[in-house]
Structure 1
Amino acid sequence: MGALLLMIGGLIIGWVPIQFATELAIIGGSFTVIGLVFAVMVFLTGAFVMARPEMSTVFGVIGIALSILSLIGALGGLFVGMLIGIAGGNLCVAWRHPDPDQGTTTSTGTGSPDAGANEDVQFSWQGDQ
């Protein structure tokens, strides 16, 4: 879901420079090019998260930074694209790739079926141990 929001945010961020490209081209549209570059990069961070979900934290942080920087060239997609990109990046940072080894619990041989069941429980707010 975070990757999809990053991609939608990138499209909205890119919409603003495209709409004003003709007016800014007369003046000298370096900001148009910068806005389009940020839009493409935010969109690509969402695509990279879909391609490599185990690196979602890294691409999420990059997506958040690029969404904020899109204020420079594209007004952040009139702030809507920036907010959607930030929300998508936050979801990518918060998401953890499921570990296939965590799903199977082995019996410890103590005779009680629940003896090892509570050993693997860890909540995200407790941190890594």
Structure 2
Amino acid sequence: MAADTPARARRSRLSWRDWRHSRPFWGGLLVVLGGLEMLLTVWAPLPVVLKVGMQNFLGILIPILIVLCGLLLWFNPTQRTFYSLVTIVLSLGSWLTSNMGGFFIGLLLGLIGGCLAFAWNVADRQEVSDSYPAVPDQD
């Protein structure tokens, strides 16, 4: 049983790596962190926070939707273009509704994560590794 532990750890590490490389992981992570940061600044008991009617509802709804888009980028990567564009638009909209986009930090994390997810493509990753020869040709 103890001898099987390193092999099991290696298999789990390799499966984690394969899962992470098969989707826009870092873009989704930045989007989730940005949405959580916006959500925490809306709920923070700061004197800077302004809560006015419908803006309070949107200030909570937009970060929740951003976190949801980040999770969907991880678990449904085939629709990454749609989710990344929605994330970018919602992050820009958070400037008005969620305390200046979580005091700029959440806004920037959402925008950068959405751009990373939009630019990610598994085919590009395989083509780049196939296009470079192991040993360069010397003519």
TM-score of the superposed pair, with normalisation by structure 1: 0.68
1:88 aligns with 2:113: yes
Q: Where do residues 62-77 of structure 1 align in structure 2 (5 Å cutoff)? A: 62-74=86-98, 75-77=100-102
Q: Where do residues 36-115 of structure 1 align in structure 2 (5 Å cutoff)? A: 36-74=60-98, 75-98=100-123
CA deviation digits over 1:37-70, x for unaligned, max 9?
0000000000111111121111111101000001
For the aligned residue pairs, the C-alpha RMSD in angstroms reads 2.5
The runs of 4+ residues in structure 1 deviating greater than 3 Å are 20-25
CA deviation digits over 1:62-116, x for unaligned, max 9?
10100000112112001110000000000000001349xx78xxxxxxxxxxxxx
Q: Which runs of 5+ in 2 are unaligned?
A: 1-25, 132-139
Change (3 A) 1:56 1:45: same
Instruction: Percent identity, please.
Output: 31
Q: Which has the higher helix share?
A: 2
Q: Which runs of 5+ in 1 are unaligned?
A: 104-119, 122-129
Q: 1 CA distance for matches of 2:45 and 2:55? A: 10
Q: What is the one-letter code of the residue matched to 2:75?
A: A
TM-score of the superposed pair, with normalisation by structure 2: 0.64
Q: 1 CA distance for matches of 2:33 and 2:55? A: 21
User: Residue 18 of structure 1 corresponds to which residue in structure 2?
Assistant: 43
1:6 aligns with 2:31: yes
How many positions carry a matched residue from both structures? 101
Q: 2 CA distance for matches of 1:68 and 1:59? A: 14
Q: 2 CA distance for matches of 1:95 and 1:71? A: 25
Q: What is the one-letter code of the residue matched to 1:77?
A: G
Between structure 1 and structure 2, the one with the greater Rg is 1
Q: 2 CA distance for matches of 1:49 and 1:66? A: 15
Alpha carbons 1:10, 1:42 under 8 Å: kept = yes
